[in-house]
């Protein structure tokens, strides 16, 4: 898979977010770039301008961990962004060119189903890397009833394409921003997932809001927190 465009856009978007003052660099004269210049990133990473320019053109194949670490430090990447940079580098290193088709609805192990069904006082569900809801207990089915009307039931598709979304997600802007960031992470980790690529293509075609967020190249990993649904607060914990 040729991911040079994604690498190029990600590195430039991170460079644009950092001011010279934040990087501890002096500022002289008028600047034409939003954030750091390529030469400034190269200096902070201990690399030549020519080498960093090659990296930002999307050529991460064969780059050592030490270079990636230096680049992450220069661009002030957080842990999620740093892991994303490593995933992009692994994809750039080459590999099989065949496209892997994952099942649209994977089977959920019986033991997992018993766990979520046993949670009688809270909602619980299982989803895959494409944000398809694969299983849900009674409270989750009540909470996500409108999402589950879809086939497949996909929270990201619902968030961008269903006009009823704000009835479920009052904090729509944050929810969609985090969802797109999570999809960015998954694309870098699973570059041959055709169903994931199809979902992104569908959302890009039909949603201006998705296209804008996708173009920002921000990344996100769900951990734990509290989320508000239809006027009520619910705890949310996600894991690998």
- pLDDT per residue of the chain (240 residues) written in tens, 0 to 9: 578 999 999 999 999 999 999 999 988 878 888 899 999 999 999 999 999 999 999 999 889 999 999 999 999 999 999 999 999 999 887 644 334 444 555 678 889 999 999 988 888 899 998 999 999 999 899 888 899 998 889 999 999 999 988 888 888 898 899 999 999 999 998 888 899 999 999 999 999 999 999 999 999 988 766 677 665 544 444 443
Number of domains in the chain: 2
Tokens matching residue 235: 């705890």
Q: What is the pLDDT of residue 235?
A: 45
Tokens matching residue 21: 């003052």
Rounded Cα distance between 35 and 136, Å, is 45
Q: Are 88 and 156 within one domain?
A: no
Task: List CB contacts of 198: < 8 A, sequence separation 6 or more.
Answer: none
pTM of the model: 0.81
Q: What is the pLDDT of residue 178?
A: 93
**Residue 204: domain span:** 110-237
Q: Are 88 and 201 within one domain?
A: no
Q: Are 118 and 228 within one domain?
A: yes
CATH number of the domain enclosing 71: 1.10.260
Q: Are 115 and 87 within one domain?
A: no
User: pLDDT per residue over 84-122, tens digit each?
Assistant: 999 999 988 764 433 444 455 567 888 999 999 998 888
Rounded Cα distance between 188 and 171, Å, is 27
Q: Are 88 and 114 within one domain?
A: no
Place of tokens 């909470």: 143
């Amino acid at each position: 898979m040729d991911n040079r465009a994604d690498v190029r856009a990600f590195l430039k978007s991170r460079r644009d977010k950092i001011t010279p003052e934040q990087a501890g660099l002096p500022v002289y004269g008028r600047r034409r770039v939003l954030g750091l210049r390529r030469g400034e990133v190269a200096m902070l990473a201990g690399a030549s301008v020519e080498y960093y320019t090659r990296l930002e053109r999307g050529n991460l194949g064969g780059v050592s961990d030490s270079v990636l670490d230096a680049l992450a430090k220069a661009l002030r990447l957080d842990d999620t962004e740093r892991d994303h940079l490593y995933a992009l580098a692994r994809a750039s290193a080459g590999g099989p060119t065949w496209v892997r088709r994952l099942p649209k609805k994977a089977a959920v192990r019986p033991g997992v189903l018993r766990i979520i069904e046993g949670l009688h006082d809270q909602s619980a569900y299982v989803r895959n890397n494409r944000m398809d809801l694969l299983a849900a207990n009674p409270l989750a089915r009540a909470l996500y009833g409108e999402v589950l009307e879809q086939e497949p039931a996909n929270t990201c598709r619902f968030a961008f394409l269903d006009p009823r979304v704000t009835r479920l997600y009052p904090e729509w802007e944050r929810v969609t921003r985090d969802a797109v960031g999570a999809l960015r992470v998954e694309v870098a980790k699973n570059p041959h997932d055709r169903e994931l690529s199809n979902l992104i293509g569908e959302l890009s075609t039909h949603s201006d809001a998705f296209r804008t967020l996708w173009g920002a190249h921000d990344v996100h990993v769900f951990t734990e927190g509290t989320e508000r649904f239809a006027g009520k607060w619910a705890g949310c914990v996600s894991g690998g």
